[in-house]
Amino acid sequence: MNIVNKRDFEQADQAHLLDAIDRWLEREVKPVVKEHDHADTWPAEIVAQMRDMGLFGATVGVEYGGLGLPATTYAEIVMRISAMWMAITGIFNSHLMLALAIEKFGTGQQKKRWLPGLASGDIRGGLALTEPDAGTDLQGIRMTARREGGDYVINGTKTWISNGIEGSCFALLVKTDPEAKPRHKGMSLFIAPKQKGFTVGRKLEKLGYKSIDSAELVFEDYRIPADHLIGEVEGQGFYQATGGLELGRINVAARGVGIAEGALKLATEYAQVRHTFGKPIAEHQAIALKLGEMATRARAARLLTLDAAAAFDRGERCDMEAGMAKFFASEAALENSTESLRIHGAYGYSKEYDIERLYRDAPLTCIGEGTNEMQRLIIAKQWIKRSNNA
């Protein structure tokens, strides 16, 4: 199936692309989502279709075979898919973070070598930053890379890595100088393909975000050539790993918008067909008030996200805008999915209805790409700085 012809994309407008995504969701995704989600099975056929559509190269430059989409279009795609099944966006979103790190910070040679395979989806992977003892405090990671002649030898463990089992290549954050002060100066980012010394420790079981594999990755005397160091200069890893966070946060915000809108749609439909006391529950004021709040929340989340994406596309610094969008949209996802579940009454608690999936998927958006606790601190820091410069 090839619903978006990459060669024709430049002529196709955003509406055409989004229409194709909508049709694909209805025709291919909707019929299989419940079965995959409940069995927690990796959706091979959906991944193949996303690959045919070019989604693994969505934000990669056209010169490397990607679609080169602006952040606004990318966010719209993620919103639509997440309104039905947020987990599958993680399969290409995490992968695009790896591609972004290479495209933004890699040498010319590294871009030529890795980006075409990543854009086509022949190579799939993700971003491996988190360790058992270090998530928010990334500078506290313990994984080390030791230089030995023309190679680096890497030891340590990563955890919670999306696409860890099905992916074949990861951007791997390590310490090349564990004694460095400040700590970030001793950090480097490597392109790490699966090979001898790199094994999957275990698959992690989760509340939601099913069907995408989250895994522990173990590195034991894993040896790679020095040309796998992104940018080929040590000590840049912390900036390289966090340099994609603006787009990463826009992506998580878009997931939140999708869940908030999806939950609203399900609640709106249900509230008009479920009757109590002789009328649809939508006509009871308590339910109408909920729908009014949910609709406002979803719209505000959408506007904040598109505002951040538009600033990103204009090349402006938008860490505060992306942080606000991520924070607000993920909380909107959590609140709207909870309210929608309540509007569904007992059926909201049933595995036969879709809302239970959105309810289980929503909390991840509050954790990924910087927890919402940290997000508020980042927003405040920027806000104060900009206010003082105004």
The residues carrying an active-site annotation are 369
- In terms of CB distance, is 24 or 209 closer to ligand FAD? 209
Per-residue binding string, ligand FAD, 101-130, x by CB under 6 A, is -------------------------xxxxx
Q: Structure tokens of 200?
A: 């999957």
What six digits make up the tokens of 140? 């506290």
Q: Does 242 bind ligand FAD (CB under 6 A)?
A: no
- 132 or 292: whose CB is closer to ligand FAD? 132
Q: Which member of 92, 105, 160, 359 binds ligand FAD (CB under 6 A)?
A: 160
How many C-beta neighbours within 10 Å does residue 78 have? 28
Annotate 66-95 with three-state secondary structure: CCCCCHHHHHHHHHHHHHHHCHHHHHHHHH
Residue (72 or 236) nearer to ligand FAD, CB: 236
Please give the structure tokens belonging to residue 170.
């990861």
Residue 195 CB, shortest distance to ligand FAD, in Å, is 20
Q: Binding-site residue total for ligand FAD (CB under 6 A)?
A: 21
Separation CA 308–CA 301 (nearest Å) = 11
* Pairing mode, strands 187-193 and 198-203: unpaired
Report how far residue 264's alpha carbon sits from residue 249's, in angstroms, rounded to the nearest whole number. Answer: 22
The beta-strand segments (E) located in the chain are 125-128, 144-148, 151-162, 169-175, 187-193, 198-203, 214-225, 275-276, 279-280
Contact 92, 58 (CB under 8 A): yes
Token pair of 199 as six digits: 């094994």
367 lies in the site for ligand FAD, by CB under 6 A: yes
- Segment lying near ligand FAD (by CB under 6 A), choices 131-139, 280-288, 299-307, 379-387: 131-139
For residue 342, the minimal CB distance to ligand FAD (Å) is: 25
Residues 36-75 that bind ligand FAD (CB under 6 A): none
Longest Cα–Cα distance in the chain? 80
365 binds ligand FAD per the rule CB under 6 A: no
Residue 88 interacts with ligand FAD (CB under 6 A): yes or no: no
Could you tell me which stretch among 3-11, 244-252, 316-324, 365-373 binds ligand FAD (CB under 6 A)? 365-373
Q: Which of 59, 188, 214, 305 binds ligand FAD (CB under 6 A)?
A: 214
Residue 278's region, left for phi above 0, alpha for psi from -120 to 50, else beta, is left
Of 107 and 130, nearer to ligand FAD (C-beta) is 130
Smallest gap from Cβ 319 to ligand FAD, in A, equals 16
Near ligand FAD by CB under 6 A: residue from 142, 347, 374, 382: 374
Q: Rule CB under 6 A: which residues touch ligand FAD?
A: 94, 126-130, 135-137, 160-162, 206, 209, 214, 364, 367-368, 371, 373-374
